[in-house]
Structures are given as structure tokens and as C-alpha cells.
Copies of this chain bind each other. A is one copy, B any other.
Amino acid sequence: MTATESTEEVELQKLYTDFATEHLNPLWTQLGDLMPQQPNPKAVPHVWRWDVLYPLAQRAGDLVPVGRGGERRAIALANPGLGGAPYASPTLWAAIQYLGPKEVAPEHRHSQNAFRFVVEGEGVWTVVNGDPVAMRRGDFLLTPGWNFHGHHNETDEPMAWIDGLDIPFVHYTDTSFFEFGSEQVTDPATPRISRSERLWAHPGLRPLSGLDDLPNSPIAAYRWEHTDAALREQLLLEDEGQPATVEPGHAAVRYTNPTTGGDVMSTIRAEFHRLRAGAWTRPRREVGSSVWQVFEGDGEVVIDGREQRIAKGDLFVVPSWAKWSLRSDDGFDLFRFSDQPIFERLNQSRVFVEEGEE
């Protein structure tokens, strides 16, 4: 090193120190990390097993009360790449929630969008803005932002389900509002279907009392019998040679807001996928992350080249731009949710589908 080089190096170090003192940070030293050539998520693909999750939730049921303050007995998936934070991905929160016999989770509301999906059990009602909504296997239930909600278990059995929210996104963007509500649910009734369904869940029909478009779906519960029927019909139509499925042997529906035809909530997309025995999905990459839960059957998921067997109740996360595909053994039903609406609305969406035969 010459004297000049040395002087320059000293000057440069002095400059960087002055930057730090003045709360400045140069771009040129870190461009590749800040603006990678393609998404380079810290979040990693990971599988959580239902037969591990559920017993842990049971133990929490024995040891941790549910009530005001803690609010919910919810145990979140913490992506191994995200340093222990309770985030399945940078945008999505996913948890198993467990409610013991006769327990009540008190009412509150928050700006975060939330849903529940039930992989097994029944007997809990979630009360959304005063509307009691029964929870049963296969149902997808909404609690869009700023709706009061609480849960109560009417049975002598515990019940567990998964919760999905946009907590990490809202936390990162500093848009959280939260308010406590009633300690008991505001309507203890236990009807088979909710008022929201009675008003809104009729195919293609809209009440004249509900003509204003809503940012989130007014349907509180999407019932399994409808989802199942829709998927079954797609596969039957495929058998008849009609266009209906996404790709051969792969039926899928998106849950939608009937006032717009769009996603159920502004930040979360939810879908249900069914693969015939032996079917597989064409490998794809998408901007944004998603969380899946096996509802029935078993098979394999391949993420960025790593294959894993998955079965009923198992959850896995697909980070942004990871290449994923699914394979079914004897038939495979999976629930999925993702942050896609964020990226579609912000013109950041990209999808890559691998061409060619298996």
C-alpha cells in the first residue's frame, strides 16, 4: 500500500465514521444485499408436524389459562430463518389455537386481518361483531380487521384449529390498532350457521340491503360442504372433458368477497386445493409467501428441490420465489393462504411456471 492509498483509506474510514455519526448509510457497500437480483428471503421452507403441534397445544391447555391480557392460547409457527420471531414468513402469522372444554377467549378487535381454518373437531363458536359462527372441520372462517371477536367452547372436549393473520406485515409497517372488548362473548347462542351466511352465502345473490361494496367479505364462514362440492365438480367436469381444473388432476377454489369477486380480505388470499391420486402440480415460483395445511390424504411437497412427505394436519411455509410443487399419493386435500393480494395491489406480483413434462 502506498502512502496515498493509505491516506485515502484513512479518509474513507473517517467518512464512514462520519456517516454513522450523522445517521447516514452508503448504498455502494451493501447494494447486493439490499437489492438482490432475485428475492433472497431470510425465511426458509419448513414443515411443522401436526402430531408434534397438537400435543404441545394440549400441554399449553393444561398449563396456560386463556383470558384477558394474553387473550388467546395461540402458538405461532416461528420460521427458523427469522430469528425466533413468531412469523411464518415476513408477512404471515400462522398458529394453532387451542380452547379447552367450556373455555372462553375474550372479545377484542384489531386492525390485523384474521381467519381460522378447522382441520378437525367442532363445538366452538366464534362470535364476530355479535354474530355467533359455528366452527366445524373443513370450514374457513373470517375475522376481517376491526371486527370484535371472541370464542367459546360449548363442549366437554377441547378444540384446536389454525389461525392466520397478517401480524408480521402490520407490525413491520406500523399499522396496528388494538382494542379490548367484552370478557364474555356478546352473543352466547349456538346456531348451526351464522347470520352473515343466512344473508350472504347464496350463490350469485346479493341482498338489496347490502349494495355497497365492502373491502372484506361479509361471509363469516365458508362451509366445508360447499368447498368440497366445488372441488368434486371440477374433477367430474375434467372427467367429462370440460375445462374446469387448474391443470390435470388439480382442482382448486379461491375464497372470495361476494361484493367484488376479489380476495376475502385485503392482505390475505385463501384457497383450497385438491389433487387426484397420482396427480402433481407444475413447479412454480411466486413473489410473496404462503402457508399450507394438509386437510386430508398424504403426499409430498418439493420446495427448492427438497422433497418432504406430509400428512393430515401438517403445515408448511413456502417463502417468496421458492420453487414448489405438490404430489398426491391417493388423493390430497390442502388448504392454503398467502399474502398475494398485497403484491397484486402494489403491482409487484410475478409468477414463473416451469414448462415441460415431468
* Partner-B contacts on A (CB < 8 A): 8, 11-12, 15, 18-20, 22-31, 34-41, 43, 46, 48, 52-53, 56, 59-60, 62-64, 69-80, 84-86, 90-91, 95, 110-112, 145, 167, 169-179, 195, 198-209, 211, 213, 215-217, 219, 222, 226-227, 229-230, 233-234, 236-237, 240, 242-246, 252-261, 264, 266-267, 271, 287-289, 319-321, 339, 341-343, 345-348, 350
The one of B198, B253, B320, B345 in contact with A173, judged by C-beta atoms closer than 8 angstroms, is: B320
Report the copy number of this chain in the oligomer: 4
> Chain B: which residue is nearest A271 at the CB level?
B208
B348 in contact with A15 (CB, 8 Å): no
The answer for the CA separation of A341 and B173 in the assembled complex, in Å, is 13
Beyond A27-B71, A48-B23, is A258–B204 a contact (Cβ under 8 Å)? yes
Given contacts A15-B59, A206-B256, A213-B261, 11 further A-B contacts (CB under 8 A): A12-B63, A22-B48, A23-B78, A34-B171, A34-B176, A174-B319, A174-B320, A205-B226, A207-B234, A209-B246, A258-B261
With A and B bound together, what is the CA distance between A170 and B345 in angstroms? Answer: 14
Bound Cα distance from A172 to B289, whole angstroms: 12
Contact residues in B for A350 (Cβ distance below 8 Å): 175, 177
| Residues of B with C-beta under 8 A to A205 | 222, 226-227, 230, 253-256
Give complex CA distance A305, B182 in Å: 34
**Least Cβ–Cβ distance between A316 and chain B, in angstroms:** 12
CB atoms of A37 and B261 under 8 A apart: no
Query: Nearest 5 CB-CB pairs, A to B?
Result: A28-B70, A174-B320, A25-B86, A208-B252, A198-B233
In the bound complex, how far is the Cα of B12 from the Cα of A64, in angstroms?
8
Residues of B contacting A199 in the complex (Cβ-Cβ under 8 angstroms):
233-234, 237, 244
Contact A22 B52 (CB under 8 A): yes
Interface pair A201/B204, CB less than 8 Å apart: yes
CB distance from A14 to the nearest CB of B (A): 8
Asked whether, in the complex, the Cβ of A206 is within 8 Å of the Cβ of B261, the reply is yes
- List residues of chain B with CB within 8 A of the CB of A342: 173, 346
Contacts of A198 in B (CB 8 A): 233, 236-237, 244
CB-based contact B244/A207 at 8 Å? yes
Say how far A141's CB is from chain B's closest CB, in angstroms: 12
Determine the chain B residues whose CB is within 8 A of the CB of A346 once the complex forms.
266-267, 341-342, 345
Which of B22, B43, B48, B174 lies in contact with A56, CB distance below 8 A? B22
CA distance A266 to B173 in the complex (A): 16
Q: Which residues of B contact A345 (CB under 8 A)?
A: 266, 345-346
Residue of B nearest to A201 (CB): B203
